[in-house]
Amino acid sequence: MKIAGIEEAGRGPVIGPLVVCGILIAEQDEEKLKAIKVKDSKLLTPKQRETLYPKIIDIVKKKKILILQPAEIDAALSSDSLNLNWLEAHKMADILNVLQPDRAFIDCPSNNIKAFRSYLRELLEKQMGLVVEHKADVHYPIVSAASILAKVTRDSEVAKIQKMMPEDFGSGYMTDPRTAAFLAKYYDTYPDIFRKQWVSYQSVMKSKNQLPLGAFEGRH
């Protein structure tokens, strides 16, 4: 049996892409993933992830990695038919339609697992078993492995962006003070790197575009 695992990295940051990764292996090769001690990428250091990356590549039969730039995410969120969950479902379907597994294990981005599974199934070109769960990256080595490839890919993309910037923007997440400061300073200088549909971006843009109190005084 051929099995696939899918996971994403970079769902929440205001800077940089969202990466969705799918991998395909023969079911018996899951033991090889266990042997190299794959685990949820968030539980590993960057160095550990980078060490595991080539080992995972050696084990998988096929991989498919999609990099969604901020403009594509913004377009989905500003459309009537998509939200972030449905956008991810479309990308996961694109991956599964390439990998063609007999069974797929997916870390569910939605709170409503049943609705997400149903939506995803409608997008698939062939019938396959779908195991859609929260924390699948913790429970299934194949999803852990996909999460590592996704995270290493996103980190690489963010590093490329960082090289072109005049200052360190940190992690790209608004919980990072460097990211918040960078957004406030450069939101309109480097608009392409930001997710403009994010509340954090729109709040900065709104506050910068407001005229100060007293700006209209004397204009009678």
What pLDDT is stored for residue 212 in this prediction?
53
Domain residue extents for the chain: 2-163
User: Mean of the per-residue pLDDT values for the chain?
Assistant: 94
Counting Cα atoms < 13 Å in the Cβ hemisphere of 102 gives: 6
What pLDDT is stored for residue 93 in this prediction?
98
Percent pLDDT > 90 in the chain is 90
Give the model's confidence band at 11: pLDDT under 50 very low, under 70 low, under 90 confident, else very high: very high
Give the pLDDT confidence of 118-142 residue by residue, as tens digits: 999 999 999 999 999 999 999 999 9
Query: Residues of 187-201 as b/e, b for ≥16 C-beta within 10 angstroms?
Result: beebeebbbbbbebb
Higher pLDDT, 34 or 216: 34
Q: In angstroms, what CA-CA distances link 195 with 2, 77, 84, 165, 201?
A: 36, 10, 12, 16, 7
What pLDDT is stored for residue 40 in this prediction?
87
Average of per-residue pLDDT across 143-164: 97
User: What is the pTM assigned to this prediction?
Assistant: 0.92
E strands present in the chain? 2-9, 18-26, 62-68, 103-107, 129-133
Query: What fold does the segment set 2-163 form as a domain?
Result: Nucleotidyltransferase; domain 5 (3.30.420)
- The answer to whether residue 165 scores a pLDDT higher than 70 is yes
Give the pLDDT confidence of 14-43 residue by residue, as tens digits: 999 999 999 999 999 999 999 999 998 889
What pLDDT is stored for residue 215 in this prediction?
44
